[in-house]
């Protein structure tokens, strides 16, 4: 089975300085669960920007869903992006839309009918504890509430790959575990999960997930699970 994400000797350089990421080579199997850890400045966000097509590499090969996204024409990228669910550190909610409308956006882009959208979004907002805030706009929500809206929007369409950058940075431990239960449920249905986090205690709660550690722009993977990924694991405790 083809890898969902495949990096081969990838490097990323901003401007004329030293490479931010160097010689990244790994594969993520369909239906797998992965953490990216590393100190601030190690390159976690830069790595996720490459995976989510927000940045093109300076060198190397990147394949996403079997497509070589380095050479893929720009007008073909939206089709690939529709298979992604992304949780950004800065949320990127649309300010003039309500929480409900922000979460509904991916389903509307897919062309789902309104009764289905209403039922699905209502259920998702209830899961993240925001059903009473469905009509609130982002500016009236706390940072933690905005983060939960962003997560709900990323997962509502059940994408093939979810990429999350510090998804629990603004929520309490109880909600953090609840959100990861949501990721677990989607993973058991076959969605590949890639989460960047500095919370090593949270990572320790999911010992079956593979972890890549970034240090000075390079990957440490002593288990070899990223270059030679094991069969998908569907239960995390």
Q: Rg of the chain over CA atoms, in angstroms?
A: 17
Q: What is the pTM of this model?
A: 0.86
* 203's tokens: 């990572």
Distance CA(57)–CA(24), nearest Å, equals 11
Query: Residue 198 above 90 pLDDT?
Result: no
Structural domain includes residue 16: no
3-class DSSP state of 158: coil
- What are the pLDDT digits (tens) for 100-133? 999 999 999 999 999 999 999 999 999 889 999 9
Structural domain includes residue 46: yes
Structural domain includes residue 149: yes
Q: How many domains, the chain?
A: 1
Tell me the average pLDDT across 11-40.
92
CA atoms within 13 A on the CB side of 82: 11
Q: Are residues 169 and 196 in contact, defined by beta-carbon separation less than 8 angstroms?
A: no
Structural domain includes residue 92: yes
* Predicted local confidence at residue 235, as pLDDT: 38
Q: Tell me the DSSP string of 217-237.
A: TEEE-TT-TTTSPPSP-----
Structural domain includes residue 114: yes
Structural domain includes residue 156: yes
**What is the extent of the structural domain holding 141?**
33-55+82-220
Domain of 194, CATH number, reads 3.40.50.300
Structural domain includes residue 118: yes
Structural domain includes residue 123: yes
């Amino acid at each position: 089975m083809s890898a969902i994400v495949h990096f081969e000797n990838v490097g990323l350089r901003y401007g004329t300085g030293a490479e931010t990421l160097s010689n990244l080579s790994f594969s993520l199997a369909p239906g797998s669960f992965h953490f990216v850890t590393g100190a601030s400045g190690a390159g976690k966000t830069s790595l996720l920007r490459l995976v989510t097509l927000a940045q093109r590499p300076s060198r190397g090969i990147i394949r996403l869903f079997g497509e070589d996204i380095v050479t893929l024409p720009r007008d073909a990228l939206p089709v690939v992006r529709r298979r992604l669910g992304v949780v950004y550190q800065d949320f990127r909610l649309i300010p003039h839309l309500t929480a409900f409308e922000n979460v509904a956006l991916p389903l509307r882009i897919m062309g789902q009918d309104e009764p289905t959208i209403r039922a699905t979004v209502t259920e998702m907002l209830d899961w993240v504890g925001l059903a009473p805030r469905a009509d609130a706009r982002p500016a009236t929500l706390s940072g933690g509430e905005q983060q939960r809206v962003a997560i709900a929007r990323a997962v509502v369409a059940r994408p093939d790959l979810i990429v999350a950058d510090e998804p629990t940075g603004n929520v309490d431990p109880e909600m953090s575990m609840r959100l990861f239960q949501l990721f677990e449920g989607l993973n058991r249905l076959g969605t590949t999960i890639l989460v960047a986090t500095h919370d090593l205690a949270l990572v320790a709660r999911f010992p079956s997930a593979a972890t890549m550690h970034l240090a000075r722009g390079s990957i440490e993977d002593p288990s070899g699970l990223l270059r030679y990924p094991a069969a998908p694991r569907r239960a995390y405790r």
